[in-house]
Structure 1
Amino acid sequence: MTMEATAVTRELIWRRVMDELGFEHARVRRGQEGTELSGVILVAEQGAPLRAEYSVGCDGAWRTRRVSVTQSWRGEHRTLTLEHDGEGHWQKDGRGSEELEGCTDVDLGLSPSTNALPINRLRLGEGASAEIRAAWVRFPALEVVPARQGYTRTGPARYRYESLESGFNAMLDVDTDGLPIEYAGIWRRLAEGPAAPVSSTQAFVEALVSPGPSSELGDAAATFGWLVGGWAGTIQDHDPDGSVRQSQGEWWFHWVLEGRALQDIFIVPSRRAPAQSGPGANRRYGTTVRTFDRAGGRWQITWISPTGGAINRLAGGRDGDRLVLLGEHHGKPIRWSFSDIGADRFTWRGEEQDSAGQWKLQARFDMRRIT
């Protein structure tokens, strides 16, 4: 959820005083459209560094609407996306989640900040209590389970939190925004103040990049979703005379436009490759945007190459164990395909059909996953 430029912003830091093994740096942005909590959590988990970046978007009534989490732990990056319609129906990573039906708020297990969500949404009077059903995110598994919780307002700025299933309870002292100051010897606020304005670069990235696919894509997201991340490998251009020119390249994929599209950046030669002598593969620095045509049941892509001046449009999808896309370039049929797909590798081929109907290889990319 994007906050307008006039939103009030704050930054806060908490320390996990329970075991002195963690910190959280959070940002709160409040505007007419609602509130966004975002932050970075750094903790020692089972002896290994764990970093979690999160964003929780709420509407004007403090109802949780969208959640994204990216976790790095023990050499692995994992992501989680939750979408909530405000009426108790949830999508998890783009798919309906029946087990979360009826949940009203998200509770990030490593964060004190998300206690502010039910506190602000419920707006209890002093002495009043309420029971809620929360979507509880457990770290480092990134599991989401429903959790019965209770909140009681025991004073002007004090609440008692209860896990109604485990029996755990704790007192929360909060500020005027419902954000914890002291969380019963578990978390303690160290600092808070106004946040610096978001840079135009950061604002652009936040508007473009999405943590995961939109629920609108359904099962179609899996067709190309496995590509998200970074790849590096050998790029070959095959010339009509049979010669082959070769360089190293890199390829980056991510969901964009609220997860409705998958975009990539393709770079040859790789930015980190040493300079090479002799003719290498064609220089490429371009981008492809992939969108799904639900009516036609196929993916459509547009490749834009500022370095080569090409704009190619193709369409297609899964064909057996390959992904095949068809289009035209200068009036000739072209075929782009992904094959030999593994967990950490794939081969991409670019082909053109000649007048005899034969497919001629023009380019081949052998890629391996790097992130």
Structure 2
Amino acid sequence: MAVEATAVTRELIWRRVMDELGFEHARVRRGPEGTELSGLLLVAEEGAPLRAEYSIVCDGAWRTRRVSVTQSWRGEHRTLTLEHDGAGLWRKNGQVAEELKGCTDVDLGLTPSTNTLPINRLRLGEGARAEILAAWVRFPSLEVLPARQGYTRTGPARYRYENLGGDFTAMMDVDADGLPIDYGDIWRRLAEAPASPLSAKQAFVEALLSPGPSSELGDAADTFGWLVGGWEGTIQDHDADGSVRESPGEWWFHWVLDGRALQDVFIVPSRRAPARPGPGANKRYGTTVRSFDRAEGRWQITWVSPTGGVINRLAGGRDGERLVLLGEHHGRPLRWSFSDIGPDRFTWRGEVREADGTWKLQSRFDMRRIA
């Protein structure tokens, strides 16, 4: 579910007054189809900077439907996606999360903003109390646990929050939209205003990028999902005379199109590379879109290279320890394969089949993870 770009928006900043170690910048967009709550958290966690971005999409009844979190901490980049059918069934990173069955809301442990979700969904009268089961996301582990919580409306704009699995309680003063102004002695709002419209660039990026794979992909997402992030390395082109040309390159991957496809951007030479005299590897600035054909049980790949005037279509998937994709270029069979795959490295080989049936290496990319 997408919230319309023309929705009424607000943006707010909170400061963590409990220890003066954090800030949050949040944005709320409300439209006919529902509400999106998104934000950026910057906190000091165990002496290390933690940066987390999140997006929560709710339907018109304030039922949490989709959650995405991206976190960077101690040099590690991690993501989390949650999907909720609105009736108690949750998926975590595309897999059914039985432990969260019955949860109605999400509670991101680092932010005061998610308290607004049950406040708006419950619409308690003054003096009324309700208990809920929330999907509680802990930071920096990104572990998700069911948590029993209580909300009591003690005044026109005041609520008491209770963690029913422990002894934590806090009083919250909220505004007319149910957004916290003061969250006990922990968070305090510093600023709020109508949000400026998204730029065309921001709107395009939000429309294209997805926080994670669609649950429709199931286990097939694992085939290429490990590539998400950034890579750099040495790009080689092997010429017919046996010579080899080299240049540094970079490669970026992200889920797109509501998580139904994986797209990359491939750049040679790398934008950070100094100008080098003499011939290097072929210049590349192109993109690939990968989508899974459920009927065929294999991935379909389209590579577009405006710099080389090339469009290649390949198909394939896992072959033992490798990922192998087959196609044609000008009538000649092509084989591109991932091999030597590790958590922070891989080799990508491009080969063409000769008339005698052997495969001849044309390109080799040795990549290492940088994001």
Same structural fold, with TM-score higher than 0.5 when normalized by the shorter chain: yes
Could you give the per-residue CA deviations for residues 272-330 of structure 1, whole angstroms, max 9, x where no partner exists? Answer: 11111111111110000000111111111000000111111100001010000011111
**1:167 equivalent in structure 2:** 167
**2:110 equivalent in structure 1:** 110
Amino acid of the structure 2 residue aligned with 1:117: L
**1:34 equivalent in structure 2:** 34
What TM-score, normalized to structure 2?
A: 0.98
Matched, 1:136 2:119: no
**2:226 equivalent in structure 1:** 226
Instruction: Quickly say closer, same or farther: Cα 1:249–1:316, change in 2 above 3 A.
Output: same
**1:206 equivalent in structure 2:** 206
Amino acid of the structure 2 residue aligned with 1:328: E
Matched, 1:190 2:190: yes
In structure 2, what is the Cα distance between the partners aligned to 1:5 and 1:208? 14
Matched, 1:48 2:34: no
**1:370 equivalent in structure 2:** 370
**1:127 equivalent in structure 2:** 127
Q: Are the equivalent residues in 2 in contact too, given 1:2–1:207 (CA < 8 A)? A: no
Amino acid of the structure 2 residue aligned with 1:242: G
In structure 2, what is the Cα distance between the partners aligned to 1:204 and 1:147? 36
In structure 1, what is the Cα distance between the partners aligned to 2:322 and 2:264? 19
**1:7 equivalent in structure 2:** 7
Q: Are the equivalent residues in 2 in contact too, given 1:334–1:353 (CA < 8 A)? A: yes
**1:179 equivalent in structure 2:** 179
In structure 1, what is the Cα distance between the partners aligned to 2:75 and 2:243? 40
* Secondary structure, counterpart of 2:219 in structure 1: helix
Matched, 1:244 2:244: yes
**1:23 equivalent in structure 2:** 23
Amino acid of the structure 1 residue aligned with 2:232: A
In structure 1, what is the Cα distance between the partners aligned to 2:22 and 2:243? 57
Matched, 1:254 2:254: yes
- CA shift at 1:259, angstroms? 1.1
In structure 2, what is the Cα distance between the partners aligned to 1:49 and 1:346? 29
In structure 2, what is the Cα distance between the partners aligned to 1:273 and 1:191? 42
Amino acid of the structure 1 residue aligned with 2:108: L
In structure 1, what is the Cα distance between the partners aligned to 2:253 and 2:5? 28
In structure 2, what is the Cα distance between the partners aligned to 1:5 and 1:46? 38
**1:284 equivalent in structure 2:** 284
Q: Are the equivalent residues in 2 in contact too, given 1:15–1:188 (CA < 8 A)? A: yes
**1:266 equivalent in structure 2:** 266
Moved over 4 A (4+): none
In structure 1, what is the Cα distance between the partners aligned to 2:296 and 2:253? 24
Percent identity, aligned pairs only? 83
Amino acid of the structure 1 residue aligned with 2:154: T
- CA shift at 1:167, angstroms? 2.4
Q: Are the equivalent residues in 2 in contact too, given 1:352–1:360 (CA < 8 A)? A: yes
- CA shift at 1:3, angstroms? 2.5
Q: CA RMSD in A?
A: 0.9
Amino acid of the structure 2 residue aligned with 1:54: Y
* Secondary structure, counterpart of 1:231 in structure 2: strand
In structure 1, what is the Cα distance between the partners aligned to 2:185 and 2:246? 60
- CA shift at 1:6, angstroms? 2.1
Unaligned runs of 5+ in 1: none
**1:361 equivalent in structure 2:** 361
Unaligned runs of 5+ in 2: none
- CA shift at 1:249, angstroms? 0.8
In structure 1, what is the Cα distance between the partners aligned to 2:216 and 2:370? 29
In structure 2, what is the Cα distance between the partners aligned to 1:7 and 1:276? 49
In structure 2, what is the Cα distance between the partners aligned to 1:250 and 1:176? 48
Could you give the per-residue CA deviations for residues 21-78 of structure 1, whole angstroms, max 9, x where no partner exists? Answer: 1111111111111111111111111111111111111111101011111111111111
Q: Are the equivalent residues in 2 in contact too, given 1:267–1:286 (CA < 8 A)? A: yes
Amino acid of the structure 1 residue aligned with 2:186: I
